[in-house]
Amino acid sequence: MNSLGMAWRQLRSAWLAGEVRVLLLALVLAVGAMTAVGFFTDRIQSALNRQGSQLLGADMVVVADHAIPEKYRLEAAKLGLNAAQTLDFPSMVVHGNASHLAEIKAINGGYPLRGELTIAAQAFGAGRNTQGAPESGSVWIEPRLASLLEVAVGDSIAVGERQLRVAALLQHEPARGGDMFNIAPHLLMNEADIASTKLIQYGSRIKYQLLLAGSAVTTATYSGWIKPLLARGERLEDVKSARPEIRSALEKAQQFLGLASMASVILAMVAMSLAALPFVQGHLDTFALMRCFGASRRLIMRVLIQQALLLGLIGSLLGCVLGYMAQAGLAALAGSLFVEALPPPSWTPALAGLIAGFAAMLGVVWPHLQRLGDVPALRILRRDLGDLDAAGWLAYLPGLAVMIALIFWHAHNLKLGLVTLAGLLALLLVSAGLALLGGRLLRQLPLGSSSAWKLGIAGLMRRPAMAVAQVIGLSLGLMALILLALVRGDLLHSWQASLPADAPNRFIINIQPNQIADMQSFLSGSGIGTTTVLPMVRGRLIAVNDKPLVPAQYQDDRARRLVEREFNLSWTAQMQADNKILAGRWWRADEQGKPMLSLEQGIAENLGIRLGDRLTYDVGGTPITLSVTSLRKVEWDSMHVNFFAVAPPGVLDQFPASYITSFHLPLGQEATLNQLVKRFPNLTIIDVAALMQQVRDIMDKMVYAVQYVFGFSLLAGLAVLYAALVATREERTREATLLRVLGASRRQVVMATMAEFFCMGLLAAVIATLAASTLAYYISAHLLDIPYAFNFGLAMIALVSACVLVPLAAWLGVRGLLNQPPRQILHSI
Amino acid sequence: MHAPDVINGLAIEVTGLAKHVTSNQARLTILSGLQLAVPQRETLAILGASGSGKSTLLGLLAGLDTPSDGKVLINAQDIALLDEDGRAALRGRSMGFVFQSFQLLPSLTALENVMLPLQLAGRDDAAGQAKAALNRVGLEQRATHYPRQLSGGEQQRVAIARAFAPKPAILFADEPTGNLDAATGQRIIDLLFELNAETGTTLVLVTHDAALAARCQRRLQLIDGRLEPI
């Protein structure tokens, strides 16, 4: 027979009878949440990548220590990528009697390809945005170079053998790559003028760059094409290798979003599992009758699988549509927050949603399929045969497997996935334990003559497995809501607070020891407080464990570059507040002068250095050997002065040091800087306000996005609550009717139902609050590195509202039925 | 599928049939050493008090349940030699059912309920045959109604249409009037016997209603797990 037709007819009828609605709703919500998050993160991701690109000045950059091979440029042109080329090299720049080393960038094409330059006639204050190179014969220079050379706009300076006019001061340049403390002030010039400077000669230290920008697909294609071709001295930089401050913010943002979508997935799967029960229960009689009329087991299984697939298809498609509409709404809302319009989403999330929808559907229906296939035909004569019980943990394994797969898919991070899984497992065990224990305690309660309580608790005990399942469902739903509130309020706030409005936005380097006191009094006199002033000594790492270092020994480009350049070494007695020891320990006060070293964990990893290794630095020609006694994690996005390598006081003091500090310059006080530079001409002030603004922008946008995405988790959480309430509605109705027939008053039945759900709500709220707080603690302390404080008020609100709302929802569920005469209900069940 | 599978043979032949159930370590014998032979086209009533094992016997005859001992042959086919699917196929091929509680699927319309066994048997014109069957029981106007929109008598008429539509060789009826008032029950019984006469189906009727049983050609009483003539 045509099993598909039968499957469809039965499904349609089941829809009319209401058995399939909750399941389909849960699926639509599940896929909707997944795809909305998918579509949206997809778009945010590309928007963020673009933002990152602005820091790079391009989507990616081919960097070489020789002229960029022509084929690289041709391939880019073939793919339709926008391209620009720059030459970077250090050179002395002269004006009158003053001369200073500058980092010269000769530009060919529309530099930067992403983001804009800000140029102005004065050092500080309003400027205008532009793209491209200065006109031939002119240059743009950074204000600090202007003050060092004492030039103004309109003056001419000598670059090599050529005199070039200063056309404007360069206030902001997005792609100011490299180590901001090591490079000389920038000078931008037109590539057409390069030959006349006669600075490009054999052996010159020149960095050739090919900047590229285009769609995600073409840049990925290009990146895949060029990577195997890169020769020695060539490398590809992309957004990921951009500034550590931005990378750190982006990673956190992605973790937040991953977390939000994962919460939706888990919740939706739980809702579906709960909703699958009434759906399956409704099929028992149908299949028993079909068996009676001659249907084979195979046919029944086929009809069921086809129904699951049909449901999966309908639900997934509807979910995709919902997800797409939801993200479109979001994009419209968020549009004004982003600098540019969000890029369109790719279709991958829809495909992912469809696959996930099918998998989820089969996962939750599969265990019941097996048992429904075995339903005895004799059930027609004996109704008690073949009833499904909610228990049978093994039966839920396929669904669990799908959920685990989806968790890892959405976590984008093995550690986060494992932690979530472990947390979920712990939650299941704790919930089950607490629910059973709670049930036992409830039975011991001296309830006196309150028959409603007795009836309610008896109802709970009658279906222990179902009660546990419902408590777990409720707990998960509530946990999502509490976590949402925690993340929305506390966590995001802490994250934003980690970069406060008064975070340092200027660095001063090159402070001489005898200038520290004067400079500090100048700054405090101007109403600006400084943070710690830290010493800085430059040294090259020459040996590890007495084995001389050869840059070529490192496969990794980044490691090789780290070894090739000089380190900034510092010393301090107290560890900086935004640092955290990951291994080893900080020095004690009595260990000053001991050859110890604390290394930043990332750089140690890059160079393959472990705790206890002995590093030899060449500091101004003198070798000094220090043992790595601790590895630190540094919050680069705090914008405080931080060093990769720090020693205790008394180790490096004999070497000539300069000092560095950071401070917050309030908006509108830029003039103070001009006075500062006039008073201490040798100081170099580095403006990181723009960079900070970018970090803060990302945070703000992400906070908004994460809140929206968690809105879906909220819906999924509500679906779980609803499914948990509906799961036993039919059985509950039958019982309530029977009680009414036996003479129970309407009030008694309502009270019994509410008592039952009050107990469930209470248990679920306790479990959910504990779980959400633990999870929030973990997320803040281990994943986001932000301080966490238990929110007692929120826990109380959750507890009280669960104890009120859950029984209320249950009451709403039975209310309608209780208004009908029992005979009518008996007839319909 | 008009003609019975075996001409002039026995529709049902039962020898030494026994059914025991074990509960709480006690073995309860419901049927033992039961013998029965039902010729083609016969109408047979099986009477018995509540709990005498009538429904158990019906379940065994229809292959819905497996015996503890003994043999059940349906149209000379030993149903013990068939697996669960084989027995289902046999039911689909040669048996029809009318139950006390109607057993209509609440999610299907009257027509769809009648179509179900026809579809399962792979009949080409399931809808047409089902409509004809509904016509025969006078419910053509109710074809698109759901069971909950039908009265008890109407529901049982749909069930009868469903039972006769595939033209089975054997029809099992389990207290077909048990849930109906006397007048409606009478009309249902008339309909059942009319259709039975038209199609020449073997009818096995399980009831405790002596008046209903009186309309059958032969009556047996189930006492202490055995069948005895009345």
Could you report the per-residue pLDDT of A671-691, keeping only the tens digit for each?
777 778 778 767 777 777 766
Nearest residue, CB atoms, B103 vs list A2, A282, A380: A380
Query: How many Å from the N-terminal Cα to the C-terminal Cα in chain A?
Result: 30
Name the residue with higher pLDDT: A637 or A238.
A238
Q: Once rounded to an integer, what is the mean pLDDT over residues A698-709?
A: 68
Given this model, what pLDDT does residue A241 score?
60
Given this model, what pLDDT does residue B1 score?
40
- The residue type found at A350 is A
**Interface contacts A/B by beta carbons within 8 Å:** 86
pLDDT band for position A137 (50/70/90)?
Answer: very high
* A382 at B interface, C-beta within 8 A: yes
User: Would you list the DSSP string of A461-514?
Assistant: HHSHHHHHHHHHHHHHHHHHHHHHHHIIIIIHHHHHHTS-TTS--EEEEEE-GG
The shortest C-alpha distance from B214 to chain A (Å) reads 24
CB contact under 8 A, A1 and B119: yes
Given this model, what pLDDT does residue A182 score?
46
Please state which of the ranges A251-265, A774-788, A815-829 shows the lowest mean pLDDT. Answer: A815-829
Q: Once rounded to an integer, what is the mean pLDDT over residues A193-202?
A: 83
Residues of chain B with pLDDT under 50: 1-7
Name the residue with higher pLDDT: A652 or A17.
A652
pLDDT for A127 beyond 50: yes
CB contact under 8 A, B108 and A13: yes
pLDDT digits (tens, 9 = 90+) for A443-455: 676 655 566 677 7
* Alpha carbon distance B226, B53 (integer Å): 9
Given this model, what pLDDT does residue B5 score?
44
Q: Once rounded to an integer, what is the mean pLDDT over residues A794-818?
A: 76
pLDDT band for position A597 (50/70/90)?
Answer: very high
Neighbours of A370 (CB within 10 A): 12
Nearest residue, CB atoms, B116 vs list A285, A293, A378: A293
SS3 A580: strand
CB contact under 8 A, A9 and B108: yes
Given this model, what pLDDT does residue A179 score?
45
Report field, pTM of the whole predicted structure over 0.90:
no
CB contact under 8 A, A2 and B120: no
Given this model, what pLDDT does residue B45 score?
94
What ipTM is given for this predicted complex? 0.86
Given this model, what pLDDT does residue B2 score?
43
Q: Which of B1, B19, B64, B144 to mutate to test the interface with A (most CBs of A within 10 A)?
A: B64
Name the residue with higher pLDDT: A714 or A114.
A114
Q: Which residues of B touch A299 (CB under 8 A)?
A: 120
Q: Which of A19, A21, A381 to mutate to test the interface with B (most CBs of B within 10 A)?
A: A381
Q: A60-64 and A207-213: which strand pairing?
A: antiparallel
pLDDT band for position A477 (50/70/90)?
Answer: confident
* B91 at A interface, C-beta within 8 A: yes
CB contact under 8 A, B97 and A296: no
Nearest residue, CB atoms, B89 vs list A6, A282, A294: A294
CB contact under 8 A, B97 and A380: yes
Given this model, what pLDDT does residue A417 score?
78
pLDDT digits (tens, 9 = 90+) for A383-403: 666 665 544 566 677 777 888
pLDDT band for position A616 (50/70/90)?
Answer: very high
* A829 at B interface, C-beta within 8 A: no
Q: Once rounded to an integer, what is the mean pLDDT over residues A131-136?
A: 87
Nearest residue, CB atoms, B92 vs list A6, A13, A294: A294
- The residue type found at A795 is A
CB contact under 8 A, A293 and B120: yes
Nearest residue, CB atoms, B58 vs list A5, A16, A381: A381
Burial of residue A382, with CB atoms counted within 10 A of its CB: 0-12 exposed, 13-18 middle, 19 or more buried:
middle
Cβ-proximal residues to A800 (8 Å cutoff; 6+ apart), any chain: none
Q: What CA dihedral angle connects B193, B194, B198 and B199, to 10 degrees?
A: -40
Cβ-proximal residues to A35 (8 Å cutoff; 6+ apart), any chain: A319, A320, A322, A323, A324, A327, A349, A350, A352, A353
Given this model, what pLDDT does residue B139 score?
92
